Amino acid sequence: MTFPVVMDKDHLLTESYAISNVPAVIWIDEIGMISRPAASEFGTDTFTEITGISRETHMQQVRDWVRDGVLPDDASYVVPDLSEDEIQARLHFRLAVHLRRQDRLEEAEKHFDEAAELTPLDFTVVRASMPLRGQNPFGEEFFDLYQKYQEAGFPFHGIQRGKNPSKG
């Protein structure tokens, strides 16, 4: 087993895989087909009390898949496509990141704002921009975001697990 770590600075996978929060774990088989779409899964149980998601349950499911090709019931879940707003927000985010790299901070801020207006609950857009805009991703802005996210019922492009289990 290998564990390459790659950097997706422009968030291209949030577009091609419709990812809207992390962690998101996607199972891909030998011929490049998605066996189980995006789901919140964790490598540790640090957040289990908050999320209701256990590391071991996922690891056991992965073992069953690797050994016997058995898939959990929720693997058939169909992830909804991105909306136009979600697509445009990703483009505003990407543009803002590019402008920031060039030190064009005012222009960057404008597009971070537009992205957040389009998708106020998308973590890959809103929370990801926090450290890039001098905000604290574990600070007040984050807790505001999390509260709104909770009130909205944890919207997520993927299988909703733990406190929002999906039967697929």
The residues, any chain, with a CB within 8 Å of residue 154's CB and separated by 6 or more, are 160, 163, 164
Q: Which is nearer to another protein, 18 or 116 (CB)?
A: 18
Q: Is 138 in the site for another protein (CB under 8 A)?
A: yes
Distance CA 88, CA 92 (A): 6
CB of 98 to another protein, least distance (A): 6
Q: Is 145 in the site for another protein (CB under 8 A)?
A: no
Q: Which is nearer to another protein, 92 or 161 (CB)?
A: 92
Distance CA 39, CA 116 (A): 23
**Cα distance from N-terminal residue to C-terminal residue, the chain:** 29
Q: Is 134 in the site for another protein (CB under 8 A)?
A: no
Binding string, 17-36, against another protein, x = CB under 8 A? xxx--xxxxxxxxxxxxxx-
Q: With CB under 8 A as the contact rule, which of the stretches 47-55, 128-136, 144-152, 159-167 interacts with another protein?
A: 128-136
Residues of this chain, 67-126, that bind another protein according to CB under 8 A: 78-82, 84, 87-88, 90-92, 94-95, 98-99, 104, 107, 111, 124
DSSP for residue 119: -
Please report, as a single letter, which amino acid is at residue 33: M
Of 1, 6, 45, 43, give the one whose Cα is nearest residue 23: 43
CB of 32 to another protein, least distance (A): 5
Distance CA 143, CA 164 (A): 20
DSSP for residue 123: T
At 49, list the tokens: 């009390």
- Contacting residues toward another protein, per CB under 8 A: 2, 4-8, 10, 12-19, 22-35, 37-38, 41, 62, 65-66, 78-82, 84, 87-88, 90-92, 94-95, 98-99, 104, 107, 111, 124, 127-128, 130-131, 137-138
